[in-house]
Structures are given as C-alpha cells and as structure tokens.
C-alpha cells in the first residue's frame, strides 16, 4: 500500500469513528401526550409534563418544528433532542421515527416517557424493551419500528376507575392529592431522565425503578 492509500484509509477510519462517537453522544427524549388545552394536566399527558420540567431544569426551551415541539440541549458533552409530538397520542410513532432518522439517533439512545395504568401512582419504571401494555402511543411506536426493543420510562398513574371508565380516567385531571404529590415525583422523574443520558439504562433502572 502506497502512502496515499494508507493516509486515505487512515483518514476514512478516523472520520467513521468520529461519526460513530458523535452518534452515540446524541439522544432523543420523547414525552408522550395530546396537544390542546383540554388535555393539559391530564394523566395521559404526564410525558409532556416530565419533559417540560426536564427542559426547564437544563435551561432550554421548545420551538415548534415538524411533527412536534423540539428542544435541543447540551448535557455534559452530549446532544439531547427533546420531543413533544403534535400528532396526538395514537400517531406518536410518526414523529418519533421522523426525528430518529433526521438526527441519526441510535435506538438505544431513545427514551419514551409515558403514563402507565398498571403501576401505582407516582412509581417509576424504566425498561429497555417491552410490549405496549395497551398504551396507544407505545403501540404506534412499536408498529412504526416493528419492534418493542426500545427504552421506555413509565410513570404510574394507578387504576382508580370503575369498569369501562379507563378512557375517562386517563384523560381526566389529576386529583388535588395527586397534584400535591407531584411536587416530589416530577423532580425525581427529571433526575431519572438525566441519569439515562449520563449513566446509561442499566444504572438508571437500578437507581430509580420502584421509587
């Protein structure tokens, strides 16, 4: 191999490694919810509420872009894209897929934040994969990606509703007692998201699951 080809190969390897390193330092944090005043502060919109607090904590702001509101942050040398889809819950996958592809983000650096009826109010659960659990937002993401193998962060909203009233419950407002308890739960949730970015999935699961 002559010196020209050697340098060309060396440069190509270095450039490829740099791109791969940059890609691994880029994250997409998605809070699921429904747009519009009627859905503000409902149980189904806890994903929006957590990412709002997360962006505020890191001194960022949202701007409306294609398929959602977007905030772009820098956290300890990492680029963090925060998304609130404007597609409504049932079509969340369209926005998530678009921003994953646009920003060239690896699936292991995606974190989807949503409500969960099967977890007691205020309890947190972070997982690397799973089923939709009947959640329409997660179901659409799974359909668009053809897999359930992506990290998700579920915030427990409990299941204090009578038979046939599930939709009314998730689209209902938080009770006064729940709202009061949020003062503690939202900052803990923000810490969990920051941990996912800085410490990784496994460490975040160990520290925050069940809290």
Task: Provide the annotated active-site residues.
Answer: 44
Triad 33, 204, 19: Cα angle to 5°: 85
Q: Is 205 left (phi over 0), alpha (psi -120 to 50) or beta?
A: alpha
Residue closest to 103 by CA, chosen among 133, 65, 139: 65
R_g of the chain computed on alpha carbons: 19
- Residues 94/87, Cβ–Cβ less than 8 Å: yes
What is the residue whose two structure tokens read 């299941």?
159
CA–CA distance, 47 with 60 (Å, rounded to integer):
17
């Amino acid at each position: 191999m002559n010196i020209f080809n050697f340098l060309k190969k060396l440069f190509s390897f270095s450039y490829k490694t740099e791109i791969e390193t940059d890609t691994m330092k880029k994250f997409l944090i998605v809070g699921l919810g429904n747009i519009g005043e009627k859905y503000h502060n409902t149980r189904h919109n806890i994903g929006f509420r957590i990412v709002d607090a997360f962006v505020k904590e890191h001194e960022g702001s949202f701007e409306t872009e294609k398929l959602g509101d977007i905030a772009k942050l820098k956290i300890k040398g990492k680029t963090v894209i925060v998304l609130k889809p404007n597609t409504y819950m049932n079509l969340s996958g369209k926005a998530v897929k678009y921003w994953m592809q646009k920003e060239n983000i690896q699936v292991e650096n995606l974190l989807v934040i949503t409500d969960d009826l099967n977890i007691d109010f205020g309890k947190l659960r972070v997982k690397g994969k799973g089923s939709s659990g009947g959640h329409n937002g997660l179901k659409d993401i799974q359909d668009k990606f053809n897999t359930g193998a992506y990290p998700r962060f579920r915030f427990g909203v409990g299941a204090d509703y009578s038979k046939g009233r599930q939709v009314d419950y998730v689209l209902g407002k938080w009770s006064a007692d729940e709202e009061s308890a949020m003062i503690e739960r939202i900052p803990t949730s923000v810490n969990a998201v920051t941990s996912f970015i800085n410490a990784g999935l496994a460490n975040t699961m160990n520290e925050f699951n069940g809290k």
